[in-house]
Structure 1
Amino acid sequence: MTSVRHATGHFKNHRGLLLYYQAWRVPQTKAVLVFVHGLGEHSGRYRNPVEYFTERGYTCYAYDHQGHGRSEGQRCYAPTLRSYLKDLKLFLDYVKDHEKGEVLILVGHSLGGQIVLNYGADSGVAVLGVIASSPNVRVFNVPKIKILSAKLGTWIVPRLPLPNDLDPNDLSHDPAVVKAYVTDPLVCRKITIRLAAEILTNQEKMDTLASQFRVPCLLLHGGGDRICDPRGTKEFYERIPLKDKQLKIYEGLYHEIFNEYENQQVFSDMERWIERH
């Protein structure tokens, strides 16, 4: 059995907020996986992939976004989506300082997937590859009036929190996962108007971002996802100009493929992709 050293700490972001992180370090690591979580959740919800990969010799890191989990900041608020991207770059620098010479793989889920896809189109990429799980490239049936209201409201009441309209039953087929989410005191089931507007505006740029993508990638999505539309992920994949790319759609799986009954297959697919790189 692999010996895993778990540590927690904080790093200061560009806004002066202290962001919480966790590290699960193994001796003689094969590579380092950096997890980037989704809207309203936190790094503690990634136990399943962390356990799988640490048992197989991978070191894992994860952090809580500003305004999420155990990190400082107003709940589910950020002035811009790029603010999250800046936090990610700072954290990657921190990880590289502590894991000198090791290969880094970025793993983002949902909003975290949207963030890592933005990172993959950036000129300063410092990871070997990007894995995006159910990335928030496109959401289902957002009424145009809601989009307009968010974009107007961001200039009037940017910090106003509203329900995020996420149905917990759409996360996973496993009732235990749904119950844990609903009762988790660190989960925030709201979204501020500014953040909603930033997310929607960024989604409108996804075609351009895909054409600028510059790092090997694995895109994963549940075919039964009712939160983030898998068709958006497929279209993003098709526009990536690189040959080193892969897309896997898991028939029937819901949004949180890491928390579905079939998650071992998902993790195995990820591991095979990582080993090829």
Structure 2
Amino acid sequence: MNKSEPDWSISENHFATADGVSIYYRHWQPNQVNQYVRTIVILHRGHEHSGRVAHIVEELGFKDTSFFAWDARGNGKSEGERGYSPDFATLVNDLELFIRHISEKYQIPISSIIIIAQSLGAVIATTWVHDYAPKIKALILTSPAFKLHLRYPGALIAVKIWQKIKGNFYLKSYIKGKELSHDLNRATSYHNDPLVSLQISSNLLIGIFDTSARIVSDAQAIQVPTLLLISEEDKIVHKKVQEEFYLALGSSIKEKHNFSGFFHDTLGEKERYKAFKAIKNFIEKVEFIYVPINLKNSDQKGVTYDEYVQSILPIPFYSIKNIYYFFLKSYIKMVGKRISKGLKLSHQFGLNSPISLEYIYNNQPEAIGVMKNVGIGKYLDKKYLDRLIWKGLRIRKSNLENLVGKYVKKLNKSEVSVSILDVATGHGGCILNIVDLYKDKIDSILLCDVNESNVRAGEKYIKQNKLQNKAQCLKSDFFSESLFSNIKFLPTLSIISGFCELFPDNNKLNHALELLTGIIPKGGYLIYTNQSGHTHNEILNRILNKSSLKNKTPQIIRRRIQAEMDQLIENFGFEKVEQLIDPWGIYTVSVAKKFK
């Protein structure tokens, strides 16, 4: 090779986000090797851009490595209002799409990717790893902004109050270059760089705090090998929260380094060679010894099992928690169900009943009884419907409809017969709505449910919309072998929605999945939902766990972290190709393709 040839060929590119925003990114492709060893994706700090992390490529010195760095939306050369995102979850989904994009465009296995993320970029990356459970090689976090230092006491509360009054507004960053690094060139260039934008929207600032609190409290769900670099003299973020995150991490391989005298810009500090040495050593470690954790026995041990047991164990009679649950249950039984229609339906029929779910999906508050014509009744019912878990449920329904429609069109475009099987359809309205929209593209659909009222509701919808030549609704148990042996077609698109989370036992669920996946042809898709967040699970298990199942067994929920749910599906020859999640990290909808 010519010695004057540079180590990397650098190109500038763009990709489109889910809402059509054009995101700019840089790609460093090594010139010295035909097949590079690893891929490193670098995420910049808040307010900054990919140009300010370009030095990392040179200073790491991995000449056999392909590097990528983006300008997050609203930053640098990317589109979007400066310092703005519709919500924090949108930034996380942007990263999911970015990784999928470079994996497909450059033929890079996701398992070869290492993330190096700084400050706000580290919060985005950590949330992505937590919520989407990608099987990347390693996660390297430098000075993650899990909790920002705000200059004035009560500032966050004031921002939240003002946003409620005024709506979204912008704040200017107080950060000075001299607070980021002892390297004068880095500190000075921060203020002279025309692509650095110091404003941030109030909704994004609040989203950083809220999402970080959620992720730090559930850090055990992160299974990826993780390196955490902490700057001891950081005046921008709280070191204590970073330490709490590290202690809670679920990774079998994790490492932490604290750098005395370092300011916030860990990889831009004067003595940053110390941080680069730690990164190189960690990468070498994970490349040779990392074995993914087997999560298939999480129904017998682990944090989600402990949560599940805790939610059903008797509570000491005189404890504050027991007193709280006693009054809450009494309120629902004696007051709530008499004035709030939502509470009445959940108490009478169970949360998983078609009538309860339909009411939650419709989201139209209604007072009943003596409060029917009084504003307080409707207000209380609205408060019930506005619970995060129900907001998440409504977004799950929307995400499910979007993905079913997308993969119907994808199969149709590939000239593959579109045969849909929904094994736990509920009242069937969601899937049948899609059938009605794409009936010219669908060859057949079979809806199954164990609940008689669900089956009747499905049959009624089929008849009303004249879909008898396309759709059929049967009463059948998902765990019944006879169901799968009698299906007359090979389902190219199968759906399990709102079902897996009702069965804590992995052995039982595995049996059903084995029956279902056995009839899905190679190249077919499976869409599955999961409850990965733990919002209100104990309350649901103790207060609103009345069953809508035939045997009336209470439905006790055990959440599954996304990595566990994905492993259960992958065990039957599938690979996850897409996932959507609500902004609060409660419900996911995933698509897996059968590859063998």
Of the three residues 24, 28, 40, the one matched with 1:24 is 28
Of the three residues 204, 210, 224, the one matched with 2:213 is 204
Of the three residues 90, 108, 112, the one matched with 1:100 is 108
Are the structure 2 counterparts of residues 212 and 154 from structure 1 closer, same or farther at C-alpha, using a change threshold of 3 Å? farther
Range that drifts further, 148-157 or 41-50: 148-157
Give 1:142 shift: 5.4
Hey, what's the Cα distance between the residues in 2 that align with 1:151 and 1:33? 36
The amino acid of 2:157's aligned partner reads L
Hey, what's the Cα distance between the residues in 1 that align with 2:256 and 2:61? 24
Where does residue 173 of structure 1 map in the other structure?
Answer: 182
Range that drifts further, 244-253 or 99-108: 99-108
Give 1:56 shift: 3.6
Hey, what's the Cα distance between the residues in 1 that align with 2:81 and 2:203? 12
Are the structure 2 counterparts of residues 157 and 77 from structure 1 closer, same or farther at C-alpha, using a change threshold of 3 Å? farther
Contact (CA 8 Å) 1:153, 1:193: kept in 2 or not?
no
In the alignment of these two chains, the number of paired residues is 277
The amino acid of 1:100's aligned partner reads I
Taking every aligned residue pair, what percent have the same amino acid on both sides? 26
Where does residue 238 of structure 1 map in the other structure?
Answer: 247
* Residue 213 (structure 1) aligned with residue 222 (structure 2): yes
Where does residue 78 of structure 1 map in the other structure?
Answer: 85
Hey, what's the Cα distance between the residues in 1 that align with 2:14 and 2:178? 32
Hey, what's the Cα distance between the residues in 1 that align with 2:189 and 2:122? 22
Q: SS of the residue aligned with 1:41? A: coil
Of the three residues 59, 63, 70, the one matched with 1:52 is 59
Contact (CA 8 Å) 1:160, 1:193: kept in 2 or not?
yes
CA offsets per residue over residues 92-128 of structure 1, 9 Å max, x none? Answer: 0112121434710011100001111112212431311
Give 1:86 shift: 0.4
More helix by share: 2
Q: SS of the residue aligned with 2:67? A: strand
Of the three residues 18, 42, 47, the one matched with 1:14 is 18
Q: SS of the residue aligned with 1:88? A: helix
Contact (CA 8 Å) 2:130, 2:215: kept in 1 or not?
no
Contact (CA 8 Å) 1:157, 1:193: kept in 2 or not?
no
CA offsets per residue over residues 129-183 of structure 1, 9 Å max, x none? Answer: 1001100112225545321122233345454221122122111001111111100
The amino acid of 1:18's aligned partner reads S
Are the structure 2 counterparts of residues 157 and 10 from structure 1 closer, same or farther at C-alpha, using a change threshold of 3 Å? farther
Range that drifts further, 98-107 or 16-25: 98-107
CA offsets per residue over residues 62-119 of structure 1, 9 Å max, x none? Answer: 0011100000000000111111100100110112121434710011100001111112
Are the structure 2 counterparts of residues 238 and 111 from structure 1 closer, same or farther at C-alpha, using a change threshold of 3 Å? same
Q: SS of the residue aligned with 1:140? A: coil
Contact (CA 8 Å) 1:24, 1:54: kept in 2 or not?
no
1:179-194 correspondence to structure 2 within 5 Å: 179-194=188-203
TM-score (norm 2): 0.45
Of the three residues 22, 26, 37, the one matched with 2:44 is 37
Q: SS of the residue aligned with 1:249? A: strand
- Any stretches of 5+ residues in structure 1 without a counterpart? none
Of the three residues 3, 7, 12, the one matched with 1:3 is 7
Range that drifts further, 225-234 or 17-26: 225-234
Are the structure 2 counterparts of residues 213 and 33 from structure 1 closer, same or farther at C-alpha, using a change threshold of 3 Å? same
CA RMSD, Structure 1 to Structure 2 (Å): 1.8
Contact (CA 8 Å) 1:35, 1:60: kept in 2 or not?
yes
Hey, what's the Cα distance between the residues in 1 that align with 2:164 and 2:58? 43
Point out the structure with max Rg over C-alpha: 2
Q: SS of the residue aligned with 2:149? A: coil
Contact (CA 8 Å) 2:44, 2:50: kept in 1 or not?
yes
Contact (CA 8 Å) 2:216, 2:245: kept in 1 or not?
yes
Contact (CA 8 Å) 1:33, 1:105: kept in 2 or not?
yes
Looking at both structures, which has the greater relative contact order when contacts are Cα pairs under 8 Å and sequence separation is at least 6?
Answer: 1
Contact (CA 8 Å) 1:158, 1:192: kept in 2 or not?
no
Hey, what's the Cα distance between the residues in 2 that align with 1:68 and 1:155? 26
Are the structure 2 counterparts of residues 162 and 121 from structure 1 closer, same or farther at C-alpha, using a change threshold of 3 Å? same
Q: SS of the residue aligned with 2:197? A: coil
* Residue 115 (structure 1) aligned with residue 124 (structure 2): yes
The amino acid of 1:20's aligned partner reads Y
Hey, what's the Cα distance between the residues in 2 that align with 1:160 and 1:227? 22
Hey, what's the Cα distance between the residues in 2 that align with 1:142 and 1:198? 18
Hey, what's the Cα distance between the residues in 1 that align with 2:124 and 2:151? 20
Hey, what's the Cα distance between the residues in 1 that align with 2:209 and 2:123? 11
* Residue 225 (structure 1) aligned with residue 216 (structure 2): no
CA offsets per residue over residues 7-61 of structure 1, 9 Å max, x none? Answer: 0011111121101000001133221100111110001001221112355422110
Are the structure 2 counterparts of residues 123 and 68 from structure 1 closer, same or farther at C-alpha, using a change threshold of 3 Å? closer
Q: SS of the residue aligned with 1:121? A: helix
The amino acid of 1:13's aligned partner reads T
CA offsets per residue over residues 237-257 of structure 1, 9 Å max, x none? Answer: 001133311111111111111
Q: SS of the residue aligned with 1:276? A: helix
Q: SS of the residue aligned with 2:218? A: helix
- Any stretches of 5+ residues in structure 2 without a counterpart? 287-596
Hey, what's the Cα distance between the residues in 2 that align with 1:182 and 1:259? 15
Contact (CA 8 Å) 2:263, 2:269: kept in 1 or not?
yes
* Residue 252 (structure 1) aligned with residue 261 (structure 2): yes
Hey, what's the Cα distance between the residues in 2 that align with 1:270 and 1:162? 34
Contact (CA 8 Å) 2:43, 2:70: kept in 1 or not?
yes
Contact (CA 8 Å) 2:40, 2:66: kept in 1 or not?
yes
